[in-house]
Amino acid sequence: MPDPVDDDPEASPPPPVLRRVEGGVVWITLNRPEAGNALTADMREQIIAWLEEASDDLAARAVVLTGTGEKGFCTGADLRSAAAAPARPAGAPRLAVGDAARQIRTGWQRLVSAVLDCEKPVVGAVNATAAGGGMHLALACDLVLAAEEAKFIEVFVRRGIAPDAGGAYLLPRLIGPQRAKELFFFGDDVPAREAERLGLVNRVVPRAELASLAADWAGRLASGPTKAIAMAKYLTNRALESDRATALWDEAAAQELITGSQDCAEGLAAFAERRSPVFKGW
Whether residue 187 is contained in a domain is answered as: yes
| Stated pTM of the model | 0.88
Residues 73 and 130 in one domain: yes
pLDDT of residue 6: 47
Strand, coil or helix: 176: coil
Residues 65 and 126 in one domain: yes
Whether residue 110 is contained in a domain is answered as: yes
Rg, Å, the chain Cα set: 21
| Close Cβ partners of 8 (under 8 Å, ≥ 6 residues apart) | none
pLDDT of residue 148: 96
Interstrand relation of 72-74 and 62-67 (parallel, antiparallel or unpaired): unpaired
pLDDT of residue 82: 63
What is the CA angle 31-43-234, rounded to 5? 105
Query: Is 129:36 a contact under the CB 8 Å cutoff?
Result: yes
Task: Enter the DSSP assignment of 275.
Answer: S
Edge-to-edge strand order for the sheet containing 17-22? Answer: 17-22, 25-30, 62-67, 122-126, 143-147, 203-205
Main-chain dihedrals φ then ψ at residue 136, nearest 5 degrees:
-70, -30
CA distance 106 to 162: 17
Q: What is the pLDDT along the chain (282 residues), one digit of tens a residue?
A: 344 444 565 677 889 999 999 999 999 999 999 999 999 999 999 999 999 999 999 999 999 999 999 999 999 988 776 666 677 788 778 877 777 888 888 889 999 999 999 999 999 999 999 999 999 999 999 999 999 999 999 999 999 999 999 999 999 999 999 999 999 999 999 999 999 999 999 999 999 999 999 999 999 999 999 999 999 999 999 999 999 999 999 999 999 999 999 999 999 999 999 999 999 999
Residues 143 and 253 in one domain: no
Query: Is 229:282 a contact under the CB 8 Å cutoff?
Result: no
Number of separate domains in the chain: 2
Residues 264 and 169 in one domain: no
- Residue-number span of the structural domain to which 240 is assigned: 226-273
Residues 172 and 230 in one domain: no
Whether residue 94 is contained in a domain is answered as: no
Whether residue 246 is contained in a domain is answered as: yes
Residues 193 and 66 in one domain: yes
Residues 230 and 114 in one domain: no
